[in-house]
Chains A and B, each alone.
Chain A
Amino acid sequence: MAVRLFFKEKWFYLLILAFALTVPFLVPGRYFFQIIIMSCLYAMATLSMNLILGYTGQASLAHAGFFGIGAYGVGLMTKAGISFWAALPVSALLAAFIGLLIGLPTLRTRGSYFAIATLCFGVIVSIIAGSWVSLTGGYTGVVGIPKPTPIPFPVIGKLSFNSLTAQYYLVLAFLLLTLFVMHRLVFSLQGLSFMAIRNNEALADAVGINTFATKILSFVIANFFAGLSGGIYASLIGSISPSTASYMLTFNWLVYLLLGGVATLSGPIIGAFAIPVLMENLQFLEEYRLLIFGVLLIVVIIFSPRGLMGVIESVWNKSKAKNPVRKAGGEYAAEGGKPDQAI
């Protein structure tokens, strides 16, 4: 039994959910609360980036570009009077559709060529956002974006999103939705096909997986959720500018992903919460903070290429391997067990 933890996994998840629900009563102040809300949005973006980069193995660096497309979509549409609840899915679908158009040529390239091509696209998006003044307002951006349209309820009145607490629950709901979709995808044959492409594209092709179509699917889903988080961001923050689509954001998410754990579901979330919070607490170090993160990143990449969760997972799996009885009795290959054990 060795290292079996003292609780069942299900209880562990419920505990985390309960904690997440009580966060508004625990946060010390508005400023910190704002950081938590941003972390939820960035966790969504990092989770979706993880699908294409971590699970499918295609290093897309255009993620902030799609985040920006979602943000501008919601910003411009809601300012034109369209309901947030219509503008949000439309913007996310727009990001997904542009992702399809960009993916068709770029996903034919591999490795660093794909990374460079997508990085270029990300830069182009922020340049367009800065230069198409009549639509985007240029470098001043779009300001005065309304908060999400209140949801009317028959008896209690309506649910508005002016308080941070309501905004937090909104982003939490979307984060859980993203996590749910990613979980379903990862623990399925579909998820295994993504990992097959990451691991050995030629073999995946030879066993009958249409690798190009599968990569496109992964890219489109990832960009849908990037657009979704961008759309919510625009409405909650109230103003956007070309920096909303800047590649700097992509690299922030990349750091969250690498430190938290590539190709794990919890890694991106842990990274997206832990690093901004750590950054805040290390304010006294000023610019030297970046130095610390730089060194940390190098150390992690050398000693644990799969980040914090990679370490935890390998310990967990070793304890499981000693106790194979628990796993006996043919359950579905990609369900229950972790299909992504080590890179």
Chain B
Amino acid sequence: MLLKVENLTKQFEGLVAVSDVSFQVGAGDILAIIGPNGAGKTTVFNLISGILPPTSGKILMQDEDITCLKPYQVAQKGIARTFQTTALFDQLRVLDNLAIGYKLKTTTGFWSTIFRTRGWKEDRDKCTQKVLEVLGFIGLAEKTYSLVSTLSQEEQKRLAIGIALMSDPKIILLDEPTGGLIQEDTDSITALIRKMKKTGITVIIIEHKMRMIMDLADRIVVLNYGEKIADGPPEEVSKDAAVIKAYLGGEYIA
């Protein structure tokens, strides 16, 4: 197992946002986390990526305990993420945004930057190479020099995924990557996620669009009021009585 979450609990004052949640993700899988609003999905992401410290429980990446690491250290372990409200460097251009995502792969610091040492130049060339590769992968090559503010919603969401891909992560956490998009755009993002899976990247995704997630996910974890109420392949989960009651209701007919 690539990532293991064991008995994760997060309390905010009196509120239990995440309660004793455990799940595992195998390498190359797409795991979906679903649940009604306020079920604790984003909190789980924030706990994994180090933005919030858990109250108790453990997070293991390839059997290494990463529970109390800072966000930038978690990123260095190979876990990248996107945010629910699309987070980008909106003062900068598309290629600058991507280049920043490569920073953690470089070793150069102040002196090598000033003297443009051989190591610095190698990093620069590798970074350029990677930027071009990711631009092609996310299909934004034509927008290389555009300012982020001139991109469409869907392009911005692809760019956010692109930034995460720059560091060659083992796992990528996508928080509602198609939130607020129309069906056509949702399909293009879904296709991008499938393409990522093909390159061997493990994906954990939070989504509300049931039809999309049932097609896409290898496994689904269902949260409700911070607790895990189901965990299994899509067919199984969609027939689970507790899930239908809590979340799917009449909306999804399996």
Q: Is B one of A's binding partners?
A: yes
Please give the residue numbers on chain A whose beta carbons come within 8 Å of chain B beta carbons, in ascending order: 181, 184-185, 188-193, 195-196, 198-200, 202-211, 217, 221, 320-321, 324, 327, 330-335, 337, 339-343
Q: When the two chains form the complex, which single residue of A204, A205, A209, A333 contacts B127, counting CB atoms closer than 8 Å? A: A333
Q: Report chain B residues within 8 Å CB of A181.
A: 114
Q: Report chain B residues within 8 Å CB of A209.
A: 72, 100, 103-104
Q: Report chain B residues within 8 Å CB of A343.
A: 91
- Bin the interface of chain B by size: 35 or more
Interface membership of B22, Cβ < 8 A: no
Q: Report chain B residues within 8 Å CB of A320.
A: 145
A330 with B132, Cβ < 8 A, contacts A199-B92, A207-B164, A207-B167 known? yes
Q: Report chain B residues within 8 Å CB of A341.
A: 91-93, 147
A185 with B99, Cβ < 8 A, contacts A196-B89, A207-B163, A209-B104 known? no
Distance A107 CA – B189 CA, assembled complex (angstroms): 38
Contact B104 A334 (CB under 8 A): no
Known A-B contacts: A207-B100, A320-B145. Give 5 more (CB < 8 A). A185-B110, A199-B91, A205-B71, A206-B83, A321-B146
Which residues 86-108 of B have a CB within 8 angstroms of A? 87-93, 95-96, 98-104, 106, 108
Contact B87 A200 (CB under 8 A): yes
Q: Report chain A residues within 8 Å CB of B113.
A: 184-185, 188-191
- Report A264 CB to chain B, min CB distance, Å: 13
Contact B99 A200 (CB under 8 A): no
Distance A333 CA – B108 CA, assembled complex (angstroms): 16
Contact B91 A340 (CB under 8 A): yes
Interface membership of B156, Cβ < 8 A: no
Taking each of B90, B98, B113, B127, which has the highest tally of chain A beta carbons within 10 Å of its own beta carbon?
B113
- Report B157 CB to chain A, min CB distance, Å: 14
Q: Report chain B residues within 8 Å CB of A210.
A: 70, 72
Distance A52 CA – B193 CA, assembled complex (angstroms): 38
Q: Which are the 9 A-B pairs with shortest beta-carbon distances?
A: A208-B104, A208-B75, A333-B99, A199-B89, A205-B71, A203-B87, A333-B95, A190-B113, A196-B100
Q: Report chain A residues within 8 Å CB of B146.
A: 321
Contact B96 A342 (CB under 8 A): no
Residue of A nearest to B90 (CB): A199
Q: Report chain A residues within 8 Å CB of B110.
A: 185, 190, 217, 221
A195 with B116, Cβ < 8 A, contacts A189-B99, A189-B108 known? no
- Report B206 CB to chain A, min CB distance, Å: 15
Q: Report chain A residues within 8 Å CB of B81.
A: 206
Interface membership of B80, Cβ < 8 A: yes
Contact A207 B80 (CB under 8 A): yes
Interface membership of B109, Cβ < 8 A: yes
Q: Report chain A residues within 8 Å CB of B83.
A: 202-203, 206
A334 with B108, Cβ < 8 A, contacts A207-B75, A327-B145 known? no
Distance A334 CA – B98 CA, assembled complex (angstroms): 11
Q: Mark B53-97, 1 if CB is under 8 A from A, else 0.
A: 000000000000000001110011000110100011111110110
Distance A199 CA – B148 CA, assembled complex (angstroms): 12
Interface membership of B218, Cβ < 8 A: no
- Report A209 CB to chain B, min CB distance, Å: 5
